[in-house]
Amino acid sequence: MRYRSPLLIIASILMLTGLFTRAALAHHSWISEYDANKALAVKGVVTKVEWTNPHVHIYVDSTDDSGNVTAWNFEMASVLSMERGGWSRRTINVGDVISVEGFGGRAVTERAIASTIITNDGQSLFNEKPRD
Amino acid sequence: MRRTLPICSLLACLCLPQLLLAQELMQRLGGANGPPVVEDAAQLAVPMLADGTVDLSGVWIDGGTGRAEDLLPAGTLNNLMQPLTKEKYLARDPADDPYNWCMPGGPVRITGGFAWRFVQHPTTNATHIFMLQEGNAHTYRQIFMDGRPHPEDPRPTWYGHSIGHWEGNTLVIDTIGLNDIFWLDVGGTVHTEQLHLIERWTRSDYSTLQREVTIDDPGAYTAPFTVSYTAKLAQPGSEILEYICIENNQYGVAGGAVSE
């Protein structure tokens, strides 16, 4: 028993990864949609909030130093999950300036998933419940 | 062994970003879809109805998540699959899972990933039991408890024809008449219209439901097999909420399965 089979170890790692990955699935397989190697940080103005199922979407326009505007579509969790976590459809509004961290879509980078949102006053909207 | 360590390290490095991403998103996006579950309720008695059957009513979380392949001893599913089943199973892509396109998940997945409610109607000598699903297709299953048999030639449907009875404190549900369109689970476990499901639901303690699902499908497997799941009771006052998946489903755009 001193030496474990390499295959067993490899299988264990894959299984562990698979279990955690699947644990995160809600409606969809996020891993099949988003690229863990496309971490991104975007600051911009909210142009639209879709407080919808299966997932909430927040649209953000970011402008670079040359004045070029990029339109982002950030996917979030389900309305069920977000409302149970203390969010509401009024938490983020059109016109708000926010900073978003997330991961780009595998095929369409700007169709991304948000992992953290920080409002203009520095409030983090993922690691704590949003304040009133 | 000398070669094993670098291989394992490489694999761990490859898998780690996925692992962290999944864990982090789970935490940051507010956890699971369902409300919090009851903890430490082992001292509470399993509630009974006036007719002497177990009271299953309440909002439950889960009880149908996971791939059969992962829930069975290693190699079991592979050994039971007929050649065409294996071919189909290996070719399945998540983008082809009807569930991802807001279609019903079938009788096993109706309790997977979202909150759901068991309803015994009426509460004395129930003639029907309903499972109301909060998530995805926002639908329900009905189980006939009045002693009727299955129809001889049922039209294949997403949830089939279910009849139930009690064996002691275990609710046994027998289902046939299922279509072969839905995927049995998130892993794409294959079935045919010959599928015959036998479920055994036991409230093993106040806050826990044990579910054993026997998959008997001579069209796809060489022998029946049984997969076990667990559901947990949601905290008192929890309700199922509205969730219409088709409302704004953008699945496939980011990953390229469909264009915007």
Q: What is the span of the domain harbouring residue B234?
A: 45-244
Q: Is residue A56 part of a domain?
A: yes
Q: Is residue A6 part of a domain?
A: no
CA of B28 to nearest chain A CA: how many angstroms apart? 5
Selecting from B3, B35, B244 the residue whose C-beta is nearest the C-beta of A53 gives: B244
CATH number, residue A39: 2.40.50.140
Cβ–Cβ of B100/A113 closer than 8 Å? no
pLDDT, residue B32, reads 56
For residues B224-234, average pLDDT: 97
Contact of A71 with chain B, judged by CB distance below 8 Å, is answered with: no
B-interface mutation test, from A50, A57, A81, most B Cβ less than 10 A away: A81
Selecting from A81, A107, A126 the residue whose C-beta is nearest the C-beta of B256 gives: A107
Q: Is residue B256 part of a domain?
A: no
User: What digits encode the pLDDT tens for the residues B33-47?
Assistant: 688 899 888 789 999
Report the number of distinct structural domains present in chain B: 1
pLDDT, residue B95, reads 86
Alpha-carbon distance of B199 to B212, in angstroms, equals 6
A38 vs A42, A64, A106, A115, B18, CA distance in Å?
Answer: 12, 19, 8, 12, 12
Q: Is residue A74 part of a domain?
A: yes
Three-state DSSP state, B233:
strand
Report the number of distinct structural domains present in chain A: 1
Q: Is residue B19 part of a domain?
A: no
Which two three-digit tokens encode residue A129? 């419940």
Q: Is residue B94 part of a domain?
A: yes
Alpha-carbon distance of B9 to A19, in angstroms, equals 19
Alpha-carbon distance of B225 to B80, in angstroms, equals 8
Among candidate residues B227, B167, B175, the one with its CA nearest the CA of residue B202: B167
Q: Is residue A59 part of a domain?
A: yes
pLDDT, residue B31, reads 46
pLDDT, residue A78, reads 87
Q: Are B70 and B172 in contact (CB under 8 A)?
A: no
Q: Is residue B79 part of a domain?
A: yes
Q: Are A128 and A121 in contact (CB under 8 A)?
A: no
Q: Is residue A12 part of a domain?
A: no
Residue with more model confidence, B235 or A29: B235
Cβ–Cβ of A26/B12 closer than 8 Å? no
> In whole numbers, what is the pLDDT of chain B averaged over residues?
89
User: What digits encode the pLDDT tens for the residues B111-165?
Assistant: 987 899 999 999 999 999 999 999 888 899 999 999 999 999 999 999 999 999 9
pLDDT band at residue B229, thresholds of 50, 70 and 90?
very high
Residue of chain B whose alpha carbon sits nearest to that of A4: B1
Selecting from A31, A116, A126 the residue whose C-beta is nearest the C-beta of B18 gives: A31
Q: Is residue A126 part of a domain?
A: no
pLDDT, residue A14, reads 39
Residue with more model confidence, B92 or B16: B92
Contact of B50 with chain A, judged by CB distance below 8 Å, is answered with: no
For tokens 């009849």, the residue is: B163
Cβ–Cβ of B8/A18 closer than 8 Å? no
Q: Is residue B207 part of a domain?
A: yes
**Intervals of chain A under pLDDT 50:** 1-26, 127-132
Q: What is the ipTM of this complex?
A: 0.80
Among candidate residues B213, B5, B16, B184, the one with its CA nearest the CA of residue B105: B184
Contact of B258 with chain A, judged by CB distance below 8 Å, is answered with: no
Q: What is the span of the domain harbouring residue A97?
A: 27-119
User: What digits encode the pLDDT tens for the residues B165-223?
Assistant: 999 999 999 999 999 999 999 999 999 999 999 999 999 999 999 999 999 999 999 99
Q: Which strand (E) or helix (H) includes residue B205? A: strand B196-205
Residues of chain A contacting residue B25, judged by C-beta atoms under 8 Å apart? 24, 30, 113, 115
User: What digits encode the pLDDT tens for the residues B15-64?
Assistant: 555 545 544 454 444 445 688 899 888 789 999 999 999 999 999 999 99
Task: Say what percent of chain B tops pLDDT 90.
Answer: 75
- Please list, in sequence order, all residues whose beta carbon lies within 8 angstroms of the beta carbon of residue B140, skipping any fewer than 6 positions away: B110, B130, B131, B132, B133
- Is there a cis peptide before residue B98, judged by omega within 30 degrees of 0? no
Q: Is residue A33 part of a domain?
A: yes
